[in-house]
């Protein structure tokens, strides 16, 4: 019969051993996990420009198609550019910019609070002898974060393609934002009107055909996924508006 002291010591040692093993496993797996996250991000960026890839060739295709990575500030100025040479503010910083953090900084600045100057990433892919501008997105759905990328043609207003992802939206409802049925509505839509005014792209409950919205600036919402659809609308507006000045300046050149 073991004493209470023995049982307590044995249990304590086992807890320490298991904790050490779990910590060691986490440390060993961390590089692989970080690489998987990186590859997934690369694939999403490429897919928004209709460039399909696999985990095996994603990095190679990224280096082939992505010809420039840019960081812009709230004035629409390029503060960092990587194009195969020396990146002015840190190697490939655009890829490492956390859009969620930058949107939070923007919100805090708007409230008059202390925060870092927000900056935003932009990726330029060259495909079929034309430039495609890819903008990362981040927002909030019904149950958690939603994210994605939107790619614009060289006219800086017409959508080439989009990708959307989510953490926990309802299957068959909000989760449909990640399906072709939803994303397939976006190509050929525009984020500016004919006068050059920013319109974003609205996700319309009840369908664009039943609204007063110009069809070129809207897509049909997901039936039964109103809150997630509204979250995508807000995400598109909140993220795209950060590039309006940059695009307008570029068109004026």
Q: Which residue has the tokens 């990186």?
A: 38
- Give per-residue pLDDT as tens, 121-143: 999 999 999 999 999 999 999 99
Q: Is the pLDDT of residue 82 over 90?
A: no
Quick check: is 10 in a domain? no
The Cα–Cα gap between 163 and 62 comes to 16
| 138 belongs to a structural domain | yes
Q: Give how many domains the chain has, as a whole number.
A: 1
Let me know if residue 239 belongs to a domain. Answer: yes
Q: How far apart are CA 173 and CA 200, in angstroms?
A: 23
Instruction: Tell whether 5 is covered by a domain.
Output: no
Asked whether the beta carbons of 129 and 214 are under 8 A apart, the reply is no
Structure tokens at 33: 């996990």
* Candidate from 58-67, 85-94, 183-192 with smallest mean pLDDT: 85-94
Sequence-ordered strand ranges (E) for the chain = 66-73, 78-82, 119-127, 130-140, 145-152, 159-166, 202-204, 218-220
**In a domain? residue 2:** no
pLDDT tens digits, one per residue of 46-70: 999 999 999 999 999 999 999 999 9
Condensed to tens digits (0 to 9), the pLDDT of residues 139-187 reads 999 999 999 999 999 999 999 999 999 988 889 899 999 999 999 999 9
User: Looking at the predicted structure, is the pLDDT value of residue 89 above 60?
Assistant: no
Q: For residue 64, give its domain range.
A: 39-252
User: Within a domain: residue 14?
Assistant: no
pTM, two decimal places: 0.86
Q: With respect to residue 200, please indicate whether it lies within any of the assigned structural domains.
A: yes
Determine the Cα–Cα distance for residues 94 and 114; give it in Å rounded to an integer.
23
pLDDT above 60: residue 92:
no
pLDDT at 91 (0 to 100): 52
Does residue 235 lie in a domain region? yes
The CA-atom distances, in angstroms, between 85 and each of 69, 91, 93, 184, 211 are 11, 9, 13, 36, 48
């Amino acid at each position: 019969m073991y004493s209470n002291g023995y049982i307590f010591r044995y249990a304590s040692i086992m807890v320490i051993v298991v904790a050490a093993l779990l910590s060691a496993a986490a440390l060993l797996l961390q590089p692989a996990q970080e690489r998987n996250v990186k590859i997934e991000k690369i694939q999403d960026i490429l897919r928004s420009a209709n460039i399909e890839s696999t985990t095996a060739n994603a990095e190679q295709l990224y280096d082939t198609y992505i010809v420039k990575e840019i960081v812009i500030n709230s004035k629409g100025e390029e503060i960092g550019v990587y194009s195969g040479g020396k990146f002015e503010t840190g190697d490939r910083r655009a890829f490492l910019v956390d859009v969620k953090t930058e949107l939070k900084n923007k919100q805090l600045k708007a409230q008059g609070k202390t925060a870092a100057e927000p900056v935003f990433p932009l990726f330029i892919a060259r495909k079929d002898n034309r430039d495609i501008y890819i903008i990362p997105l981040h927002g909030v759905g019904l149950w958690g974060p939603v994210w994605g990328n939107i790619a614009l043609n060289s006219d800086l207003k017409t959508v080439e393609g989009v990708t959307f992802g989510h953490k926990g939206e309802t299957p068959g409802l909000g989760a449909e934002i990640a399906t072709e049925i939803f994303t397939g509505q976006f190509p050929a839509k525009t984020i500016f009107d004919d006068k050059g005014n920013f319109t974003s792209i609205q996700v319309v409950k009840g369908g664009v055909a039943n609204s007063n919205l110009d069809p070129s600036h809207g897509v049909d919402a997901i039936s039964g996924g109103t809150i997630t659809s509204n979250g995508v609308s807000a995400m598109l507006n909140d993220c795209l508006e950060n590039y309006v000045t940059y695009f307008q300046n570029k068109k004026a050149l």
